[in-house]
């Protein structure tokens, strides 16, 4: 049977036994409790991570900084993720994912509090970077947990809820935190408060989080014990084999071309320096952005499930491509014209948030579908903490330098519009590679089951 046959990949022949296993895989115990805990912790972590960006115009006035300093802060926070992302996954493997999540959250809170005491750019850069090194641990671990708690048909919805709810709560908190810019040293109090809450969040992890176990949501492995499922351990060789998966390589290249990430770093600075709004007013766009992101992630997750039924396999590729083009079109009209009204920008930020929010609910399930269960933590460490981080760093550092020369608006044109269209074109390769890679994982898991029960 051809490996390009989408129907064969999406709907394998069912037997009574396989039907029971599929039911077990789709109802992993405590999966919603685990997801809720991860969402709560991620809200705190992402709020702390975005605090410097939200309050940067105020920090810049207090410490005498400019766009270049913002670019350096953002780039350093992403560059440090390259070694620390995989390191946290390694810690999770040596201890447990629950312990690793708690450790990273506690460390982030401590460094966030210390950043609030910064007396100059050097001190702020040091503690902000260390905070980022701690926060990055949660992303690959959380995505791996979601892949183990939800089967392939449910992952789009689960990922959509994970990123969407986190974003909408964070977007509500951002304008509130931005009001601290109206007070002397308000940005310091913001860092101290969120840092303290971050430490408390670690207690929630230790108390409520339940790890589903590696491979718990795979229909070939769902009826096996956790010890049996986890007999296959990742090695350096198997981790390196991820780079031999064609679809994974395409997704990594796409991460490097994801210019829309820059809106989170320079969006408020753009509204302040080039459109003339004050910090607190500019921060108002974060609420519609978060609401739009929530709508995109949640709606995108359900749309992914629908496309899986009507357009198996390739429907995901069409959706992912369309999201890139949609963002480019909205960004062009939202950033290349001066509307002189924060309400208009709020609408465009909401639409950009929606278009950006379509991505996690589809690109994460794609990565999950083409990698083996025991390698997903490492795959997301590479995908998020290395390649996405490198992309962020390059965009943030480059934009910070060029923004002071040509202006943020011009930088936005090339990164948010042109580069996103290039990204959509690159993703066309998935039409050829993705069906084959999904079939390969199905075949490998079937063979593994036969070996484990023999």
Lowest average pLDDT, out of 32-36, 272-276, 435-439, 441-445, goes to 272-276
Averaged pLDDT of the chain: 84
When pLDDT is averaged across residues 20-42 and rounded to a whole number, the result is 78
CA atoms of 58 and 269, how far apart (whole Å):
11
Quick one: pLDDT band at residue 20, thresholds 50, 70, 90? low
Whether the predicted pLDDT of 315 surpasses 60: yes
13 or 267, greater pLDDT: 267
Whether the predicted pLDDT of 5 surpasses 60: no
Read off the pLDDT of residues 43-67 as tens digits, 9 standing for 90 and up.
776 776 667 777 777 888 888 887 7
Q: Which of 246, 209, 215 is nearest to 230 (CA)?
A: 215
Q: State pTM to two decimals.
A: 0.81
Read off the pLDDT of residues 223-249 as tens digits, 9 standing for 90 and up.
777 777 776 788 888 899 999 999 999
Read off the pLDDT of residues 366-403 as tens digits, 9 standing for 90 and up.
999 999 999 999 999 999 888 887 877 777 777 777 77
Quick one: pLDDT band at residue 319, thresholds 50, 70, 90? very high
Specify the length of the chain in residues.
Answer: 454
Domains of the chain: 32-211+243-453 (1.20.1250.20)
Read off the pLDDT of residues 136-171 as tens digits, 9 standing for 90 and up.
888 899 999 999 999 888 888 888 888 878 877 776
Q: What's the pLDDT score for residue 21?
A: 65
Whether the predicted pLDDT of 11 surpasses 80: no
């Amino acid at each position: 049977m051809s490996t390009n046959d989408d129907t064969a990949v999406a709907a394998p022949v069912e037997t009574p036994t396989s039907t029971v296993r599929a039911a077990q895989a789709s109802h992993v115990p405590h999966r919603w409790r685990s997801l809720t805990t991860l969402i709560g912790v991620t809200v705190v972590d992402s709020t702390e991570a975005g605090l410097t960006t939200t309050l940067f115009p105020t920090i810049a006035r207090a410490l005498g900084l400019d766009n270049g300093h913002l670019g350096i802060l953002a780039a350093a926070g992403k560059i440090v993720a390259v070694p620390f992302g995989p390191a946290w996954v390694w810690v999770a493997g040596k201890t447990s994912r629950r312990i690793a999540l708690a450790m990273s959250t506690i460390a982030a809170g401590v460094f966030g509090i210390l950043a609030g005491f910064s007396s100059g750019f050097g001190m702020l850069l040091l503690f902000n970077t260390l905070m980022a090194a701690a926060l990055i641990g949660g992303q690959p671990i959380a995505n791996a947990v979601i892949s183990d708690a939800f089967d392939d048909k449910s992952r789009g919805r689960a990922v959509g809820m994970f990123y969407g709810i986190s974003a909408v709560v964070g977007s509500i908190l951002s304008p509130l935190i931005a009001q601290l810019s109206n007070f002397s040293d308000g940005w310091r109090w913001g860092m101290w408060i969120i840092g303290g809450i971050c430490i408390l969040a670690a207690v929630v992890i230790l108390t409520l989080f339940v790890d589903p176990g590696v491979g718990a949501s795979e229909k070939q492995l769902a009826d096996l014990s956790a010890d049996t499922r986890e007999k296959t351990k990742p090695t350096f060789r198997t981790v390196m084999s991820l780079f031999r998966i064609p679809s994974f390589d395409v997704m990594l290249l796409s991460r490097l071309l994801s210019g829309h990430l820059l809106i989170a770093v320079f969006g408020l600075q753009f509204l302040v320096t080039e459109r003339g709004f004050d910090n607190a007013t500019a921060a108002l766009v974060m609420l519609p952005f978060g609401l739009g992101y929530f709508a995109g992630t949640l709606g995108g997750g359900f749309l992914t499930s629908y496309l899986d039924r009507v357009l198996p396999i390739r429907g995901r590729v069409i959706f992912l491509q369309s999201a890139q083009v949609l963002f480019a079109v909205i960004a062009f009209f939202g950033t290349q014209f001066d509307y002189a009204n924060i309400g208009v920008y709020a609408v465009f930020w909401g639409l950009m948030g929606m278009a950006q929010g379509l991505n996690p609910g589809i690109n994460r399930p794609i990565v999950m579908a083409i990698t083996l269960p025991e390698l997903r933590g490492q795959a997301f460490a590479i995908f998020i903490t290395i390649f996405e981080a490198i992309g962020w760093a390059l965009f943030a550092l480059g934009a910070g330098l060029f923004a002071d020369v040509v202006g943020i608006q011009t930088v936005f044109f090339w990164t948010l519009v042109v580069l996103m269209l290039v990204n959509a074109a690159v993703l066309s390769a998935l039409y050829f590679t993705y069906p084959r890679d999904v079939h390969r994982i199905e075949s490998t898991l079937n063979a593994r089951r036969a070996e484990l029960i023999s």
